[in-house]
Structure 1
Amino acid sequence: MWLKKYSEIARIATGLLPRRLWISLLDPRRVALLEACLIGLVSGLAAVLLKQGIGLVGGLRVHHTEGFPVWLKLPLFGLVGGLIAGWLIDRFAPQATGSGVSHVKAELASPQLNHQGFTLNLRLAAVKLLSTILVAGSGLALGRQGPTVHMGAALAASMSRWIPTSPTYRRQTIAAGAAAGLAAGFNAPISGMLFAIEELLHDVSSLTLGTVILASFVGAVVSRILGGENWDLNLELTASLAQFSALDIPFLLLLGIATGVLSGWFNRGIVASLELNRRLPFGLPGRIALAGAISGAAIAALPAPFRDSTGLREFISTGEAGIEIVAVALVVKFVLTLVAYGSGASGGLFAPTLVLGSALGRLVGLSSQTLFDIGDPTTYALAGMGAFFGAVAKVPITAIVIVFEITTDFNLVLPLMIVSVTAYVVAEQVSSGSLYDRLLEMRGWSAPTASVEGQVLSELVAAQVMQRQVETFDSHMALKDVMTAFSKSNHRGFPVVDRSRLVGIITQADLTNISTRQLPEDTPLEQVMTPKPVVVRPEDTLTQVLYLLERHNVSRLPVVDGRRLVGIVTRSDIIQAESRKLTGRGDEFRKVEPSYPVYLTRDPAVGQGRVLVPLANPKTAPLLLQFAAAIAKANDYELECLQVVAVPPHRSPSETPVRTTSSRRLLKTASRIGRQWNVPVHTQVRVAHDVAAAVLETLQERHIDKLLMGWKGGTRTPGRIFGDVSDTLLHQAACEVILVKWGKFVPLETSRTSSLSLDRWLVSVGGGANASAGLRLLPGLVSLGKQTTVRLCQVFPPTPNEPDTSFLNATAQQLDRQLKGRVFALPSFGLSVADAVVDLARSHDYDAVLIGASRRSLLGRALQGNIPREIARRCDRTVVLVRAALTEKDEV
């Protein structure tokens, strides 16, 4: 109901503002930052309310009931408060037990775990608030910072449901709420951010950092303004400077070892206490009430400073307590925390661990000062405070920053680091792993094992599954032509481009609306299309793609690199990717160690596409570059030049030192030729285990339209047609592939200074995609000659009947209108296509032969007869082999 009302309000609001303004305001990153501010504000207010509530109930328990004897008042408060808190949790939100940090961690690790009781919602936040006020205010030895994390995450999760978002963004929103809760609980924004990254998300992407930092900052500011200046530490303590010298290092190491051992026992004790409480014969309210009564009775028997947590912290920190009192405080706080947390009460472990660490640190500091006159007990107390918390939660970095933010003392950083690192290492030996993971395991939760479908959606990106050949409409296309194209196509929508730049989309629904407006037939498409369509980037995961498909109820999404359309991804593409994984046919998705770029140059990206030229042989490279530049110039493409440096398999490409002097010299030649042809040239040198793999990576990263390679004309590798690299690229490269074998009349020795001149072309045609691709290259190829002539040849088997040359003549007429030179059409006869083409090339002295005659894929035809290979091997002229860009139905 709320979402329906929200949608109605949104529709009304969008009608009041221009469309472009709304598109700008609703940019995902701007919405994310705005929502982060709101999450920080709400989490900060919740933390302040929790702090004030605990202070009110705790003050009533300690100061406002003097008429009651202490031995009766404190146990009674613990009993009643624990009973009411347990009833609230048991009745309204059973998942509100404990600190809540483990619940948040489970939700972030597996957002689909709602059926296991980890749901984050407003009810949970409200119950957590009230039960924590009752538990902490009634004297149980638990803190409020863990619950603020849980409440912040629950509030953020509720807000994310009001505005539909992707699963990835929802995780970031929940993490931002948790970070804001911790930042508000300690008035420490940096600590909140680090805890979310170090313990909860393990993600440092730009959007995650932005939302978490902003939410933490706002939460801490709200808490500091409304709830107090610091974390209830004595002001004189936080204003003092820590004292540290080299003589302290052995005692700090000793403190780290003791902290690590005690924190490991503490983690084991928490688990044992929970298991013991499960065996008690009464429910959650009774267990919490019993823990409250025990805590009250124990505190009643101790001095007055033990009767509230704030007083105990000040008593330990100010130095008034002696060794005996500090030791008693350490033991009592340790035991009562285990009792309280094991009962299932709502409360956190952050504050108790900080107090325990402070007590242990002061105990070591007082001992070293008494025995050896070395050390400052206050410095040891603060160092132990951070170390104990870091060793329990396994977040040493967050622990160091929390204490530093509380004290704002740079002199404390080094002692903190020494003790925290030592404690962390020792604690891992005593009780390995995070306490929160152990708590989740006790509830039957384990880290989710990603399914094949989940692996596909999270590991693959749009560039790996998209269709690179996209049917598009030009933005200047007339409306009547658009109508005609739709009537002949099964597609329900087409991207609209202007010089390969995506500018809009047109769908059948748009045409239906247009027909009701009765627009003129010559109306340009740019006036009726939908501008700024929903798009994805090549690096977006399939999780994000699938979310957008569902969110906007569409069947396909354009893939853009900047504004350039590079492909389209559909639901069927995603299904096929999953199918390949399930059937074991997903070799193209197999992750191997990628190549490593060590040299890059970039010209302005002003072309409509790109031609990739891998360069290997310095002798033929200038000729190949002239060949590529001619194609790029004719098609308004950019030139991408690649040099691959191969390294042994046992060495990592990113860690292998290589010399790029000769490679850069070769790429400078490419830049010079590009300037001569007025073509933008991009160059790069990659270090890789495999040349073909490096080329495939470049094809994906740079969104290449045509791949041009040199070929020596044969191979000795058994089972290969053209060679190891060529065969692999013909199989796997989705773009158009062009192989060039230079003839004996091309001056290879003087290629650095001579110009490539190819005047007489023999083109073997026969229909099909490869033949069409070869013919499309001719306008660029003929620019390599001065007085170009082209002969189109179609080979017919010997027969007494007249051959059907209608296709040959029609192709010649169409090509003659495009080329400046003369085009001739002449049928040829022979039992072998290869023999006929080779004889024609030799007898009529042609400079180059262009092969694109197969109706099947070039490699498929080669496997059935090796026709292209036979022509290239036997012909001493320059031979150009063309394989058209692959489609979904291609066999290759």
Structure 2
Amino acid sequence: MRLKLSDWLRRSETTGPVIVAVIIGVCTGFAAVALRWSVDYVQAMLQEGLGGRISGVCESLHPWLGLLWPVPVVALGGLVVGLISRYLAKETRGHGVPEVMAAVARSGGRIRARVAAVKLVSAAVTIGSGGSAGREGPIVQIGAACGSALAQWLRLSDRMIILCVACGAAGGISATFNAPMAGVLFALEVIVRRFTARYFGLVVVSSAVATITMRTLSNEGDYPRFPLVEGYRMVSLWDLVFFVLMGVLCALAARAFARTLFFVEDRAAGLRIPGELKPALGGGIMGLLAVATPQVMGSGYGAISDALNNNLAGPLLLALCVSKILCTALTVGSGGSGGVFVPALFTGGMLGGAYGSLVHGWAPELTSSPGAYALVGMSAVFAAGAHAPITGIIVLIEMTDNYHIIVPLMSATVLATFIAQRMSPDSMYTAKLRAQGIEIQDTPEVNLMDAITVAEAMDEAVDCVAEEMPVPELIERLHRDHERGYPVVNLDGDLVGIVTMRDVEEALMGRNTAELRVRDICTRNVVVCRPDQTLSAAISQFGVHSFGRLPVIDPDRPSRMVGILRRTDIVSAYLDAWRRGSEMTERDEALRSARVGHDMVLAQGTVGAGAALSGKTVREAVFPEKATLGVIRRGPMSVVPRGSTVIQPGDTLVLLTTRGDAPEVREWLGKMT
């Protein structure tokens, strides 16, 4: 039966792989919930039960001794994990993600099935006993092991095994953080480091199914992991400057986080004591630090939530930042089983909160509250440490459900990642692999924001309000439609301004709104963008003017709107561009494989400004019968040609033809380009 099922899956182009992705998503969703319950159980048994009894006995000897209960409890957890990893599965040591990346790079994604069960137990003991680590690294390894085991049992190809590993990793992240898109991006940006349509589609399926499974089992619902008391937004241009400067600090913090972890790993490897005792020793020292800063024990979700909601003082935030770096290094570097994703978020949140407390205290009218800086710091430190800016941005948006601060979030995160990559070519995941002689190749980077136009991202269905509309009617419409603002047009439909909720709030202060019209309160000096602008240019306008939406105007008639561009449209367009880019990658791979064929070659020609093909669509252009248009290279991007694709000056046309017909095809290209 297994052979028949395997043969059917190989022949199936869509149905079979989707079924496999669904199964992996369900299994990973169950595993994520099981890991959470296991951590809670161990925490109740060791920290609350055993720790409480130890504290009571010690307090009877001296009141201060009762505070030392974390030392024996975390050390005991480390000892148990050391024994588990030595006798059951050595792969479960450490934070899990590098081990999955190594399996993809060295063994085609093959991971032993027992790793899933052993990792679940060891991670539950590490985190539940108070070790400073997160659940996301273990669940990535657990999900990847589930996907790999299923693919191996079905005797699928190496490519499908790696795809199943990516599905499991994505499902694990999405179910742990209740963030399905972040799970997809983490798997593709960090684990497999490639983005093709086949990978994208199936990983999305698995991630979504894992999230649904988790929500069904835990009754968590569609709520953010870290709900915010207030929605954060950029206050002024100076605010953006401070956010960008914080990106530099976040890069340094990420580097310190990684270096401290590697330092402890190296020192622990050189200790001449039994391997199972090393996590116990690291746990004991970590327990001493936790006496002064107990918030660093476990994942630290509570402290992160407090930092995001402005409930912690600046000095404490800074102390927790330093303590978390040391405690995570001692826990994971000594051989404990836990992830570094959440500790990196924790470190960034505390650093950002401390920095925000400083600048907000200095200039409260010009800067956001410290919680906003904590949010941006979380993304920036993780992205700088993992060299994964897209994952860092999306995971914070999904975990907090806050889109309004996306410009500072992107600016600080990208800058921090850029600096971190210049400081070291290795991320906190790949440095360990390089030390083992494993090279992880990066896929070529493309600045998508420079390659996407406003026309591709904007919403052509524009809801406008007339300038003669009474303000009470406007208020009712804003509340009914759950919008923050509208473009304002005159009787001829021409754009005359923009009105936002902030304009309404200012109008309500000491004025009789019953007699006011929209024209009386709207902003006349409208910042607009054009359809042919890049998203990079549009984002800079968002940042400078702190608007939530920009009207898109007709270049030939500036008073006429052709669309509206929102911040959420930018995020959606970014993800769509990644998906389109994946089609390009698959087409490029097919063309590269054609080069090694016995009779197939490529012919290329760059279209000039006055060329015969310039300005024509692919459908209008008549290509030689003996050649096939494979890819149009346009600057840093490659475009999959469709009938409606317009050939532009500067495009390089890549045609596939036979070796014998190549001279004739190249001659045709010379004439037409």
TM range (shorter): 0.5 to 0.7
- Give the % identical residues: 26
Task: Give the equivalent residue in structure 2 for 1:139.
Answer: 130
Task: Give the equivalent residue in structure 2 for 1:34.
Answer: 19
Identify which range, 50-59 or 161-170, moves more after superposition.
Answer: 161-170
1:46 aligns with 2:52: no
Give the alignment of 1:686-765 within 5 angstroms: 697-699=656-658, 725=663
Instruction: Give, as a single letter, the amino acid of the residue that structure 2 aligns with 1:55.
Output: D
Instruction: Give, as a single letter, the amino acid of the residue that structure 2 aligns with 1:78.
Output: V
Offset at residue 590 of structure 1 (A): 7.0
In structure 1, which of residues 158, 162, 166 is the aligned counterpart of residue 157 of structure 2?
166
Measured in 1, the distance between the counterparts of 2:430 and 2:163 equals 20
Task: Give the equivalent residue in structure 1 for 2:432.
Answer: 439
Measured in 2, the distance between the counterparts of 1:76 and 1:262 equals 30
Deviations 1:452-487 (A, max 9, x none): xxxxxxxxxxxxxxxxxxxxxxxxxxxxxxxxxxxx
- Structure 1 residues not aligned, in runs of 5+: 12-21, 113-117, 450-538, 545-573, 604-611, 615-639, 645-651, 657-683, 701-705, 708-723, 730-892
Offset at residue 140 of structure 1 (A): 1.2
In structure 2, which of residues 312, 324, 336 is the aligned counterpart of residue 345 of structure 1?
336
Is contact 2:167–2:203 with CA below 8 Å preserved after alignment? Answer: yes
Task: Give the equivalent residue in structure 1 for 2:478.
Answer: none
| Counterpart secondary structure, 2:53 | coil
In structure 1, which of residues 369, 380, 385 is the aligned counterpart of residue 360 of structure 2?
369
Instruction: Give, as a single letter, the amino acid of the residue that structure 2 aligns with 1:108.
Output: V
Measured in 2, the distance between the counterparts of 1:643 and 1:87 equals 61
Is contact 2:148–2:165 with CA below 8 Å preserved after alignment? Answer: yes
| Counterpart secondary structure, 1:237 | coil
Give the alignment of 1:756-835 within 5 angstroms: none
Instruction: Give, as a single letter, the amino acid of the residue that structure 2 aligns with 1:27.
Output: S
Instruction: Give, as a single letter, the amino acid of the residue that structure 2 aligns with 1:41.
Output: V
Give the alignment of 1:568-647 within 5 angstroms: 593=604, 640=625
Offset at residue 254 of structure 1 (A): 1.8
Offset at residue 119 of structure 1 (A): 4.4
Measured in 1, the distance between the counterparts of 2:279 and 2:647 equals 67
Offset at residue 136 of structure 1 (A): 0.8
Is contact 1:149–1:181 with CA below 8 Å preserved after alignment? Answer: yes
Task: Give the equivalent residue in structure 2 for 1:408.
Answer: 401
Q: CA RMSD in A?
A: 4.1
Measured in 1, the distance between the counterparts of 2:81 and 2:405 equals 39
1:338–1:698 distance in 2 versus 1, CA, 3 Å: same
1:282–1:699 distance in 2 versus 1, CA, 3 Å: same
1:255–1:42 distance in 2 versus 1, CA, 3 Å: same
Offset at residue 230 of structure 1 (A): 8.1
Task: Give the equivalent residue in structure 2 for 1:522.
Answer: none
Give the alignment of 1:455-466 within 5 angstroms: none
1:370–1:42 distance in 2 versus 1, CA, 3 Å: same
1:246–1:278 distance in 2 versus 1, CA, 3 Å: same
Measured in 1, the distance between the counterparts of 2:241 and 2:652 equals 53
Measured in 2, the distance between the counterparts of 1:301 and 1:372 equals 31
Aligned residues: 491
Measured in 2, the distance between the counterparts of 1:653 and 1:241 equals 42
Instruction: Give, as a single letter, the amino acid of the residue that structure 2 aligns with 1:67.
Output: R
Measured in 1, the distance between the counterparts of 2:229 and 2:75 equals 35
Measured in 1, the distance between the counterparts of 2:24 and 2:14 equals 15
Offset at residue 339 of structure 1 (A): 1.3
Deviations 1:58-95 (A, max 9, x none): 23334334332244532111111111111111111111
Measured in 2, the distance between the counterparts of 1:140 and 1:24 equals 42
Task: Give the equivalent residue in structure 2 for 1:384.
Answer: 377
Give the alignment of 1:182-221 within 5 angstroms: 182-221=173-212
Offset at residue 284 of structure 1 (A): 2.7
Is contact 1:154–1:174 with CA below 8 Å preserved after alignment? Answer: yes
1:328–1:728 distance in 2 versus 1, CA, 3 Å: closer
Give the alignment of 1:510-589 within 5 angstroms: none
Offset at residue 320 of structure 1 (A): 2.7
- Structure 2 residues not aligned, in runs of 5+: 56-65, 443-584, 608-612, 636-645, 668-673
1:87 aligns with 2:94: no
1:197–1:49 distance in 2 versus 1, CA, 3 Å: same
| Counterpart secondary structure, 2:420 | helix
Identify which range, 225-234 or 215-224, moves more after superposition.
Answer: 225-234
Measured in 1, the distance between the counterparts of 2:626 and 2:280 equals 75
Instruction: Give, as a single letter, the amino acid of the residue that structure 1 aligns with 2:19.
Output: L
Offset at residue 277 of structure 1 (A): 1.0
Offset at residue 169 of structure 1 (A): 2.1
User: TM-score normalised to the size of structure 2?
Assistant: 0.65
1:233–1:333 distance in 2 versus 1, CA, 3 Å: farther
Measured in 2, the distance between the counterparts of 1:250 and 1:30 equals 50
Is contact 2:634–2:652 with CA below 8 Å preserved after alignment? Answer: no
| Relative contact order, higher structure (CA 8 A, sep 6+) | 2
Is contact 1:187–1:220 with CA below 8 Å preserved after alignment? Answer: yes
1:201–1:235 distance in 2 versus 1, CA, 3 Å: closer
Offset at residue 698 of structure 1 (A): 4.0
In structure 1, which of residues 56, 62, 67 is the aligned counterpart of residue 53 of structure 2?
67
Is contact 2:47–2:73 with CA below 8 Å preserved after alignment? Answer: no
Instruction: Give, as a single letter, the amino acid of the residue that structure 1 aligns with 2:248.
Output: I
Offset at residue 589 of structure 1 (A): 6.6
1:329 aligns with 2:315: no
Task: Give the equivalent residue in structure 1 for 2:536.
Answer: none
User: TM-score normalised to the size of structure 1?
Assistant: 0.50
Offset at residue 307 of structure 1 (A): 4.8
Deviations 1:764-785 (A, max 9, x none): xxxxxxxxxxxxxxxxxxxxxx
Is contact 2:169–2:187 with CA below 8 Å preserved after alignment? Answer: yes
Task: Give the equivalent residue in structure 2 for 1:294.
Answer: 285
Is contact 1:186–1:231 with CA below 8 Å preserved after alignment? Answer: no
1:123 aligns with 2:117: no
Deviations 1:27-51 (A, max 9, x none): 2310111111111110011011111
Measured in 1, the distance between the counterparts of 2:354 and 2:430 equals 30
Is contact 2:70–2:291 with CA below 8 Å preserved after alignment? Answer: yes
1:225 aligns with 2:216: yes
Offset at residue 653 of structure 1 (A): 8.7
Deviations 1:545-568 (A, max 9, x none): xxxxxxxxxxxxxxxxxxxxxxxx
Offset at residue 340 of structure 1 (A): 1.4
1:601–1:78 distance in 2 versus 1, CA, 3 Å: closer
Deviations 1:161-188 (A, max 9, x none): 1223222222212111111111111110
Instruction: Give, as a single letter, the amino acid of the residue that structure 1 aligns with 2:33.
Output: V
Task: Give the equivalent residue in structure 1 for 2:466.
Answer: none
Offset at residue 148 of structure 1 (A): 0.8
Is contact 1:29–1:207 with CA below 8 Å preserved after alignment? Answer: no
Task: Give the equivalent residue in structure 2 for 1:781.
Answer: none
| Counterpart secondary structure, 1:445 | coil
1:415–1:690 distance in 2 versus 1, CA, 3 Å: closer
Instruction: Give, as a single letter, the amino acid of the residue that structure 2 aligns with 1:354.
Output: L
Measured in 2, the distance between the counterparts of 1:350 and 1:94 equals 21
Instruction: Give, as a single letter, the amino acid of the residue that structure 1 aligns with 2:313.
Output: G
Instruction: Give, as a single letter, the amino acid of the residue that structure 2 aligns with 1:105.
Output: M
Deviations 1:474-511 (A, max 9, x none): xxxxxxxxxxxxxxxxxxxxxxxxxxxxxxxxxxxxxx
Is contact 1:40–1:215 with CA below 8 Å preserved after alignment? Answer: yes
Is contact 2:602–2:657 with CA below 8 Å preserved after alignment? Answer: no
